[in-house]
Amino acid sequence: MARVPRRSASLARRPGVPATLRRQWRAMYETTPYRDLPWFSDRPAPWIERGVDEGWLRRGDRVLDVGCGAGTNALFLARSGFRVRGLDLAPAAIAVARRRAARARLSIDFREGDALRLPFGSRSLEGVVDRGCYHTIPVRLRRAYSRELGRVLRPGGRYLVSWVARESTRNFGPPHRPSVEETALAFEPEFLFLRTEFERGRRGALSSYHGLLERRRSPQPPPR
């Protein structure tokens, strides 16, 4: 009888995105033109632009855009000199991102996949950017998400994340709106928080938090 490879067994033990959520994301991209989706923008996220401008990410690094959607941030990173991967649950989103990269003549590794079961080797990346993936992860799976990001990042690797703030009370937007305290509980075992900033929504926009995190080089110290 053939043995099950160790890597496959390890993958099977990791939780995945629930099937209902997976179907919802796929349906949104299949039924709505990507430019009509409320989160789409032709411009890269300002927090990611700032990360490049201020050197939080180093040009030439291998960087993953997790929850890449139609690929705007991935395209920006590739133009800025990074070796870019993009991952999204929705096949239609990945198809659009690939077409946009081809038109721009950019080489980007776009893949359909699960943010809780990343198809990348351990310590294989120097950076991850996340413009709105984290706040779509169900509360009970946020620690698993942090562990998975920590697995693929090298020690000292950077994680740039933006999420809709708990302070946003408008009806539209993600149902799970993490506080800074919740985010720290989810991510601190794997990451150091280097910066956290609050951006108040203007003209009907949702308020957001932005974080710059670094993969720990040594285990988190125990409480004293």
- What's the pLDDT score for residue 204? 65
How many whole angstroms separate alpha carbon 125 and alpha carbon 203? 37
CA distances to 29, 62, 70, 86 from 208, in Å: 24, 26, 21, 23
Whether residue 203 contacts residue 164, with contact meaning beta carbons closer than 8 Å, is answered with no
How many whole angstroms separate alpha carbon 178 and alpha carbon 164? 7
- What's the pLDDT score for residue 14? 81
- What's the pLDDT score for residue 152? 98
DSSP track, the chain: -PPPPHHHHHHHHS----HHHHHHHHHHHHHS-GGGSTT--SSPPHHHHHHHHTTSS-TT-EEEEET-TT-HHHHHHHHTT-EEEEEES-HHHHHHHHHHHHHHT---EEEE-BTTB-SS-TT-EEEEEEESSGGGS-GGGHHHHHHHHHHHEEEEEEEEEEEE-TT---SSS-S----HHHHHHHHTTTEEEEEEEEE---TTPPPEEEEEEEE-SSPPPPP-
- Structural domains in the chain, CATH included, are 16-215 (3.40.50.150)
* Residue-level pLDDT, tens digit, the chain, 224 residues: 334 334 444 555 788 999 998 999 999 999 999 999 989 999 999 999 999 999 999 999 999 999 999 999 999 999 999 999 999 999 999 999 999 999 999 999 999 999 999 999 999 999 999 999 999 999 999 999 999 999 999 999 999 999 998 887 777 667 788 999 999 999 999 999 999 999 998 776 789 999 999 999 999 999 88
pTM: 0.91
